[in-house]
Amino acid sequence: MIDITNEIEENYPSIDLEEIKEIQPELPDDMLNSIHLYNKALNDLKSGSEDIAIIGLKKAIAVNPGFHEAMNLLGICYLKLNQREQAKGVFNKVINSEKNGIRALEYINDLEGNTGNATPSKKIKKSNGISAKLSLWVGRSLNVETGSDILKYIAGLAVGIILVAVLWTALPGDKPLIKFNKNDKATLEQLQQKTDELEKATNDINAYKQKISELEGNLTLIEEEKILLKQAEEHRNFITNAVKEKNYLEAADRLFQLKSTNELDRLGMTTEFNELYNTLPQLLYNKTRESFLATSNQIKNARRVSDEIYKALEQQAKAFEIVTKFNGEYDFITSLYYYLGKCYHAMASVNEEAVNMQKAKDAYNKVIELPDVGNSKWAGIRLDEIASGKYWWQK
């Protein structure tokens, strides 16, 4: 079985474009662009964005069909997504088009469980320099092996015909291959007409190649947009269903994470969730406050914090903390910090006393800083209890 993470680290290093440009400054733009796409796809794959990596590698292979390193990496992407048939298809293409498709053949043997019958091959060692790698990539990329390069052949053929025609008529000798009278105006006009036609055909071919490149770029954008829409729909369903079922903690947690990481903007969901972002903290606070007051009564009656009550306090403290992160100007803000302090104050009697007690003091001090005389008074009482080693349910 292939260890994909190890395989990527050992056999797929990032390609130094600057070093390549120094060694081969006249490399075609298509080849340089394909290497840039390969490096980006490699980073996407390492960060867990396999779908984006696949899109980039398909683009790299489209502009540089001989880029077998990118084809092998595309197969690895499919393997990571457990799409084994797609991976086999890619590796077989490398084997069929590359005489030395050793690595792709090893992948196929591993996928088909033929490791025992496979011809042993030495592990491909990474080169410390770029020259060997560059020679390999350039050699592969200049081989026309797929139908997508037919246009290059046509363009070359057109230019070749023009050169042959010119050289043929210019060759000296007693017996020219073609009897050509320079004064024959009709022949000159005919030759000029053919030359013009070939030039027009070459221009048309270049225009078609440019159009194909633009269409491929548009296709890449469409595929990326589809991925974004899929991600947005997943978040939308999760948050909507959580609110509908009154799981405000889960909804607020997801919404805050999306907002704080700019995912709402990236997915185009900011306007859609703007109202909920403003109202959800109030809903979460109300529900958590009701739950905490019930827990508080249980503690007062039992005169202690049981394991079950401790778990409830953990959830309530988490909910109160999330509400504080929304940074809204709420009329319940001092009550929010006061109840948060009581949660940590009670939790300190069971676990992580120093940590939870400090969190309780921070929350109580926050209440005192805010303009609310009633809650400030009670927060001061709670701080005095902490100073004397007592808890708020103790007489």
**pLDDT tens column, 287-341:** 999 999 999 999 988 888 999 999 999 999 999 999 988 877 778 888 999 999 9
Taking the model in full, what pTM does it have?
0.47
Q: Is 128 contained in some domain?
A: yes
H helix and E strand count, the chain: 17, 0
In angstroms, the Cα distances linking 139 to 15, 66, 306, 318, 384 are: 16, 8, 72, 59, 79
* pLDDT tens profile 148-166: 444 444 445 555 655 555 5
Instruction: State the chain's mean pLDDT as an integer.
Output: 78
Same domain, 280 and 204: no
Same domain, 222 and 276: no
Same domain, 103 and 195: no
Same domain, 141 and 157: no
Pairwise pLDDT comparison (67 vs 158), residue with the higher score? 67
Decide: 248 and 291 in contact? Cβ < 8 Å. no
- Above 70 in pLDDT, residue 81? yes
Q: Is 393 contained in some domain?
A: no
Decide: 220 and 59 in contact? Cβ < 8 Å. yes
- pLDDT at res. 98: 60
User: Which of 145, 165, 192 marks a domain boundary?
Assistant: 145
Measured CA to CA, the distance from residue 11 to residue 69 in angstroms comes to 10
CATH code for the domain of 305: 1.25.40
User: Which of 241, 260, 280 marks a domain boundary?
Assistant: 241
Q: Is 309 contained in some domain?
A: yes
Decide: 193 and 187 in contact? Cβ < 8 Å. no
- pLDDT at res. 186: 72
Q: Is 332 contained in some domain?
A: yes
* pLDDT tens profile 225-265: 788 788 888 888 898 899 898 999 898 988 888 888 888 78
Measured CA to CA, the distance from residue 297 to residue 164 in angstroms comes to 99
Count of domains observed in the chain? 3
User: Which of 98, 120, 145 marks a domain boundary?
Assistant: 145
Question: For the chain, what percent of residues have pLDDT higher than 70?
Answer: 79
Q: Is 262 contained in some domain?
A: no
CATH code for the domain of 30: 1.25.40.10
Measured CA to CA, the distance from residue 178 to residue 290 in angstroms comes to 102
Q: Is 224 contained in some domain?
A: yes
Same domain, 90 and 16: yes
Q: Quickly list DSSP for 130-163.
A: SHHHHHHHHHHHTS--SGGGHHHHHHHHHHHHHH
The residue type found at 117 is N
Same domain, 116 and 166: no
Same domain, 284 and 382: yes
Nearest to 102 by CA among 125, 85, 122: 122
**Domain span holding position 12:** 4-145
Measured CA to CA, the distance from residue 334 to residue 321 in angstroms comes to 13
Same domain, 126 and 212: no
Same domain, 224 and 290: no
Query: Which residues in 73-196 belong to E strands, given as ranges?
Result: none
Same domain, 278 and 376: yes
**Rounded to a whole number, what is the distance in angstroms from the first to the last CA of the chain?**
65
- pLDDT at res. 365: 92
- pLDDT at res. 177: 46
Same domain, 30 and 120: yes
- pLDDT at res. 258: 87
- Above 50 in pLDDT, residue 131? no
Q: Is 25 contained in some domain?
A: yes
Same domain, 126 and 14: yes
* pLDDT confidence tier of residue 130, bands split at 50, 70 and 90: very low
Q: Is 361 contained in some domain?
A: yes
